Structure 1
Amino acid sequence: MHRRYRPLAQLPSLCALALSLTLALPHKALAQAAAAATTTQAGAASEPLSLQACIDRALQKNFGLAIQRFDAANSREALTIARADYDPALTLTTGKSVNQSDNPDTSLVGTRNDTFSARAGVTQKVATGATLSLTQSLNRRGTNNNFALLNPAYNADLSLSVSQPLLRGAGTRVNLAPIRRAEIGLEIASLNTTSRVLQVVRDTEAAYYALVYARESLKVRTQSLDLAQRLYDENTTRLRTGVVTDLDVLQAEVGVENARRSVLVAQQSVRDAEDRLLNLIGQFEFDQALGTVALPPTATFSPDFELSYALARKQQPEYRSAAEQIKQLQLDLATARRNRLPSLDLNVAGGYNTRDSTLGRTYNRLPDGDGYTWQIDLALRMPWGLRAEKARYNTALNNLRREETRLRQIEQNLALEVRSAVRAVETNLETVTISRKATELSARQYELERARFDAGLSTSRRVLEAQDDLETARVAELQSQVNLRTAMAELNRIDGTSLALYNIELPAN
């Protein structure tokens, strides 16, 4: 499941390249730039801020992940709704009525009937599609008719009825399909949450590395400003002794101003990088100071496409989600195939009924009395041609085939993503080595050019050019280290290994 890493020493930090040059008396412009750089760095807390801590905060506070959790919660409720269709349903109805007939043609007083009725029942749906109903009813009838044999008269009955589809809507697969579909929907929601977690982890890694790059780049720009300022101060001193010309002083001053501009731009990049990271790991916490950050130790490995692709097919949420959606559409197709049949329902009902003058005697006679009723019937309904049913089946079949094709497309795109991610890691592994060598050579070039200038064999312009080359090389090496880690983060997102790498445990459904 996991790659076999061969731990190496941490790649050397570019900003740890120390130059043994000391500054002369600071120029006013240098003091202002240094103060600005110090202010930027002071905004960060002195406590270290690890990548693991940032990821933990992002998983707790990221807005996108919080929104995704609501979708997962709704999927759980949808499953409860589907299962509730098989919960027994209780019914209770009561009523009272009075009826008095007017007899204008006779001297008799109109007949008055008082009736009270109550009915209670329970209905249960079962997996075969049948509906079972058990009902109990009671009627009390009182009258002012002196010829009534029972006054009041109580009627009670107990009945059981069953309605079972025989064609359309029959069978456990069709009737349990909504529950199974909701279960798959919950799994899809969980996979979507996993996908969002992987994306948040990858984005947090990228934002963290970008902040490291921005801060370290600011240090490089500040050191370049220091070198440019020293050259300017030395040329100013040499101008008084006639060793250099006004052009050398002017070139050195241009170098100072260009370095100051680079520092200002780098300071803005640091603030922007801090905001982007805070946007991922917090909620409206842009004024919070971020601690010191550093590129975490990395381990090298030989990227393996076959291994990464196998992991991606097994763990990549989008691919697994598409496979689960196919299962849902297979259920829809099975239901649509069954529903192409006509409706044929078998209805069976039977029960007992009694009638007596008291409530107690009525209920006592209920199971032993002579009153009973039963019925059985078949109900057939078949729309002419079943055109709508056939069209629904064809639609379900087309949806299934479409999703199967989309799964193949996702599989191909996944292979492309893995190939690209593996290639990016391989390229950046080589780039780190090349960039480190380029930095070493640029540092030697600068030192030699500076020595030639001190000996009067070079010009300020050539020293500034060598200084620019050194700065570019140092920034490029830093960028190569960041690119390597970002490429590894993307590969870990694709094959799903970020969860194990950062000890992330997702809640069960």
Structure 2
Amino acid sequence: MTASNFRLARLAGPILFVCLLAAAPSGLLAEEAAEAEAERLDLRTAILLALDNNLGLAVERYAPQIAREQVTIARSEFEPTLTGTVRSRVSQQSSAASTLDGAAGPRSEVSDARIGVSQKIDTGAVVSVSTGMVRQETNSTFSTLNPAYDADVSLSVRQPLLQGFGAAVNRANRQRAEIGVDRADYLFDAEVLNVVLNTELAYYRLVFAREQLTVRRLGLQLAERLLEEARIRRETGVATSLDVLQAEVGVANQRSALLLAEQAVSDAEDALLALIGQFDFDRAIGTVEALLPEPVRPDVEASFRRARDRQPEFLATLALVDQLELDLVAARNGRLPSLSLNGALGYSGRDGTSRGAWGEIPDREGYNWQVDLALSVPWGMREGRARLRQAEASLEREEMRLRRIEQDILVEVRSRVRTVETAMERVQIAALATSLSEREYELELARFENGLSTSRLVLDSQRALDEARVSELQVGIDLQEAIARLHRLEGTSLERFTIANR
């Protein structure tokens, strides 16, 4: 491996390509020229397209939005509530019950209106302020004010003292919703990283498929050239019909390999388009190449720290633990009896006009107040205790799962690092194997041209060279895939391509 850029396209066999360039037909050159003229698609652009167009990611984008709406719902519990009522009623009696009714057929008309506002505060108390006006008119001769107007202003407070008391329990639902937003964002980030990884893998596999296709095309050209030479040698009496037949079989095998390579290219293009195109399978993918800096040997400890600090799944589990801790706070409070202190204070005024009734309120001559305690204790309190045990078990289970995830991350990091290191060594070994196969093929071809070898041996040597080149391509792709999977595990895939999280 060189100290310069690590490029998988180098593995396609430049020496073999130079040998066949002069003999290559115009159709092959025209096809490669058309591909070169197509729009180049680099890996970063492919990832950006996937992040914008991937259908699975588009579905997952709704989860953070839904979580944010849940925060609004939780906060609305502590927003003021405006209330208002307007009523009117008439009572007409057919006859008087006594002379004290003041009329032969007592009749009364009552209209009242009330408006108020109430709000829950962090202590759990509900504070209400209201005001109202009542107009009463009667045909009774004993009524001193007719019509009579009653106005009042009142303040009431209901404060839980056991269940529902305290800022911690009353803020829990709101804080849980806020943590839910973070958790939804983490899970969405995980889907983003999955899309990035899948796009990387699809891109690398397309690179491999196209480079393999190049190798198969060049292999077919070699086989056809060898067949032509075998036929010429048979005409001159140097080769036999068996040599020609072996060369024909070699051409047929190369055509079969070429067909499979073309199918692999089409499948790889469809797989990449499915990630970046949203059903746009007729879109042409231009030149692709895995041109990346030479990989640096990873460090287990550094990779583990990054994975533990940045992996979205781990962070989402941490957020879930925080939510369950809030659930435990609420469950501990929920097992307490319901005891509330209620208080109310109101001032009122009465007059023959509405203005006069309002005017009497500041004098505070008419007033009322009330204080009471209300207690409610469920028989046996089994529900509250069961919910507490349920919350404790859920929290302990998730904490245990968090420790297991942390352990799994360490094991997976160690495995991924070893995979990268192994792939780096395999790349060097595969390059040596390809170099050896190239020399063996060149030697066998020279012996054939000098009448010292047979077409079968040349075909075997060519087949070994093709397989060595394909193997080297595959090993290079394996290395890039291993690096991509390690970055996914670390949660650093976006930073690797300098892409901001969207």
Equivalents in 2 of 1:305, 1:259: separation in Å?
Answer: 44
- The corresponding residue for 2:57 is 65
Q: Output one character per residue of 1:276-314: Cα deviation in whole Å (capped at 9) or x when no partner.
A: 111111211110111100111222312110100011000
For 1:82, give the aligned amino acid: A
Equivalents in 2 of 1:241, 1:111: separation in Å?
Answer: 138
Q: Aligned in 2, Cα 1:453/1:275: closer, same or farther, shift over 3 Å?
A: same
Equivalents in 1 of 2:268, 2:479: separation in Å?
Answer: 18
- The corresponding residue for 1:15 is 12
For 2:14, give the aligned amino acid: L
Q: Output one character per residue of 1:176-222: Cα deviation in whole Å (capped at 9) or x when no partner.
A: 00010001100000101111111111111111111110111100000
- The corresponding residue for 1:94 is 86
Equivalents in 2 of 1:23, 1:323: separation in Å?
Answer: 60
- 1:102-181 pair list within 5 angstroms: 102-103=94-95, 109-181=104-176
- 1:427-446 pair list within 5 angstroms: 427-446=422-441
Q: Tell me, what secondary structure is at the counterpart of 1:299?
A: coil
- The corresponding residue for 1:396 is 391
Whether 1:50 aligns to 2:42 is: yes
Which of 179, 187, 195 does residue 184 from structure 1 map onto?
179
Q: Tell me, what secondary structure is at the counterpart of 1:338?
A: helix
Shift of 1:63: 1.2
Contact kept? 1:37, 1:263, Cα under 8 Å: no
The alignment yields a C-alpha RMSD, in angstroms, of 2.1
TM-score (norm 2): 0.95
Equivalents in 1 of 2:21, 2:315: separation in Å?
Answer: 60
Equivalents in 1 of 2:249, 2:29: separation in Å?
Answer: 20
Q: Aligned in 2, Cα 1:94/1:51: closer, same or farther, shift over 3 Å?
A: same
Whether 1:353 aligns to 2:351 is: no
Q: Aligned in 2, Cα 1:45/1:366: closer, same or farther, shift over 3 Å?
A: farther
Q: Tell me, what secondary structure is at the counterpart of 2:15?
A: coil
Equivalents in 1 of 2:124, 2:335: separation in Å?
Answer: 16
- The corresponding residue for 1:452 is 447
Which of 481, 485, 490 does residue 476 from structure 2 map onto?
481
Whether 1:285 aligns to 2:280 is: yes
Whether 1:495 aligns to 2:487 is: no
TM-score (norm 1): 0.93
Q: Aligned in 2, Cα 1:97/1:297: closer, same or farther, shift over 3 Å?
A: same
Which of 194, 197, 200 does residue 192 from structure 2 map onto?
197
- The corresponding residue for 1:3 is none
Shift of 1:64: 1.5
Q: Output one character per residue of 1:374-409: Cα deviation in whole Å (capped at 9) or x when no partner.
A: 011111111222111111100000000000111111
- 1:331-370 pair list within 5 angstroms: 331-370=326-365
Contact kept? 1:355, 1:362, Cα under 8 Å: yes
Q: Tell me, what secondary structure is at the counterpart of 1:120?
A: strand
- The corresponding residue for 1:327 is 322
For 1:17, give the aligned amino acid: P
Shift of 1:22: 4.3
Shift of 1:37: 9.8
Q: Count the aligned residue pairs.
A: 496
Contact kept? 1:127, 1:175, Cα under 8 Å: yes
| Unaligned 5+ runs, structure 2 | none
- 1:225-244 pair list within 5 angstroms: 225-244=220-239
For 1:429, give the aligned amino acid: M
Q: Aligned in 2, Cα 1:425/1:25: closer, same or farther, shift over 3 Å?
A: closer
Q: Tell me, what secondary structure is at the counterpart of 2:137?
A: strand
Equivalents in 2 of 1:287, 1:151: separation in Å?
Answer: 87
- 1:231-310 pair list within 5 angstroms: 231-310=226-305
Equivalents in 2 of 1:150, 1:7: separation in Å?
Answer: 105
Equivalents in 2 of 1:351, 1:403: separation in Å?
Answer: 51
Equivalents in 2 of 1:267, 1:402: separation in Å?
Answer: 51
Shift of 1:40: 9.1
Q: Aligned in 2, Cα 1:23/1:386: closer, same or farther, shift over 3 Å?
A: closer
Equivalents in 2 of 1:221, 1:133: separation in Å?
Answer: 83
Equivalents in 1 of 2:163, 2:98: separation in Å?
Answer: 60
Shift of 1:36: 8.6
Which of 399, 414, 439 does residue 419 from structure 1 map onto?
414
Equivalents in 2 of 1:38, 1:265: separation in Å?
Answer: 21
Q: Aligned in 2, Cα 1:21/1:506: closer, same or farther, shift over 3 Å?
A: closer
Shift of 1:325: 0.6
Equivalents in 2 of 1:38, 1:285: separation in Å?
Answer: 26
Contact kept? 1:44, 1:289, Cα under 8 Å: no
Q: Aligned in 2, Cα 1:450/1:417: closer, same or farther, shift over 3 Å?
A: same
For 1:70, give the aligned amino acid: Y
Q: Tell me, what secondary structure is at the counterpart of 2:368?
A: strand
Shift of 1:143: 1.8
Q: Percent identity?
A: 48
Equivalents in 2 of 1:391, 1:271: separation in Å?
Answer: 59
Shift of 1:98: 1.2
Which of 77, 88, 91 does residue 85 from structure 1 map onto?
77
Contact kept? 1:37, 1:267, Cα under 8 Å: no
